[in-house]
Structure 1
């Protein structure tokens, strides 16, 4: 009896985890087929079918009228209605990142940490043709492999850094051993703090693996680390050294302007 209860409990937890994975897959990628949902969520096709049917009944997702694809509905926002701690950051940063994109053409994103991922809160990718994809709020990138995650980690408190490294020791979540060792030793952190930015070349976790690079700087409100400001650019059009030479200072100035306005608005 106890084993049955344990199995039921374990099964329920796994079912919730799989449903969350399906919601995250659809929310990150937009309209997906059942096969794409199953592949992105890492679950069997029959399981994805049952979960999608349930989410349709709950009206959290809908099927596109002309295609067998499923997309989130406005009700998906009810799952985050209590998560408002970055609303002010988004509203204040929007004019600044819009002006910067109009100045340099490349898309700019405001990114904050959630667990071992960095989540896009706002992006100007829809305002420029110099992008392969529009990265809407909710898009996630891994922490240590990404420029936004690296710069966030480097400027985080020692306690927060240790917490993140402890989680990586349990599950590396896609980060290679060399990168993990460099952050564990403090070598990578010291270099990023000295430079004031982090960069990632030909990122493999984007919607177009290997085709884009990025650089990021931290956003502070006073002494409080809020997140990162990231510029994504075509790897074939711009090298990391050229991007740093041409756009690092404008990116830093933008991050400072956002932080100053955040502090002044208190």
Structure 2
């Protein structure tokens, strides 16, 4: 994903983060592959890699010119509150749903202006173009999972996210932004109880998949969303909502009940 310019940001740090994320995703990339993945010039990638090696965060593989993260990268997440209980609780439920209908399910939580996949059943079905591993990010408002989350988020959280979108001007078209700013999009999602996006343009295979998503709660607390992804050519959105939305809602409700029980 290209490094985007933002007001008051430090470009060198943004590029360094992009390089580290690329290496962490690929785990064994060449210099050229790193530069391409991070969308930065080759000489810049070279300098950043040398710095990361000096700091002990990455290393060169002994037998070839490929780079991988070291155990030291784990120190960057020491203060992060993981969602282990959420993943452990949800896993059997989303697996059963995929085993029943074959389509992959993604469990995602919000981080900044993105929804981050915490777990996915894409590896247990052939009805997927890609395996969406934990850590995969999709944009908030353009995605079904993000829209389902946003619509049920507290008002102050919604206001802050919209402010960030207005400030950055990145990642969303003006019509969609106005629809959420006016409250029309939120009202519609809440009335329907789900969000849907046809022919996802942000996916690894733009236009080939569609998604429906529902919010996920622990009691009254919003914790994330569940999205079901299907081939756009396989069925219409109307058919998908009619056939797949009820079991997706039931799965979210079952996960919520189990989260409350395990918290007791």
Query: With structure 1 as the length reference, what TM-score do the two structures score?
Result: 0.87
Distance 1:28 1:140 in 2: 12
Deviations 1:20-40 (A, max 9, x none): 111223445665443343243
2: CA distance, partners of 1:153 / 1:211: 24
- Cα distance change of structure 1 residues 222 and 40 upon mapping to structure 2, 3 Å threshold: same
Matches within 5 A, 1:144-155: 144-155=141-152
Partner of 2:4: none
Match in the other structure for 2:174: 177
Cα distance in structure 1, aligned partners of 2:240 and 2:69: 35
C-alpha distance in 1 between matches for 2:140 and 2:59: 31
SS in 1 for 2:142: coil
C-alpha displacement of 1:149? 0.6
Alpha-carbon deviation of 1:83? 1.8
Task: Check if 1:133 corresponds to 2:130.
Answer: yes
Deviations 1:33-84 (A, max 9, x none): 4334324323222111222333345554456788765454555444324323
> Which stretches in structure 1 are left out of the alignment for 5+ residues?
1-9
CA shift in 2, pair 1:256/1:29, >3 Å: farther
1:235 is displaced (CA, Å) by 1.1
2:250 is aligned to 253
Between the aligned partners of 2:220 and 2:187, the Cα distance in structure 1 is 18
SS in 2 for 1:262: helix
Asked whether the 8 Å contact 1:27–1:138 carries over to 2, the reply is no
Counterpart of 1:123 in structure 2 is: 120
Give the secondary structure class of the aligned counterpart of 2:94: helix
Output the aligned Cα RMSD: 2.3
Residue 113 (structure 1) aligned with residue 110 (structure 2): yes
- Output aligned runs, 1:63-82, within 5 Å: 70-72=67-69, 75-82=72-79
**Is the contact between residue 28 and residue 140 of structure 1 (CA under 8 Å) also seen in structure 2?**
no
User: Which whole-Å deviations, capped at 9, do the CAs of 1:72-105 have from their partners, x for residues lacking one?
Assistant: 4555444324323411111111111111111111
Partner of 2:217: 220
1:121-180 CA distance string (max 9 Å, x none): 111111111111111111111111000111111111111110000001101322001100
Mind listing any 5+ residue stretches in structure 2 that lack a counterpart? 1-7
Q: Does 1:92 align with 2:85?
A: no
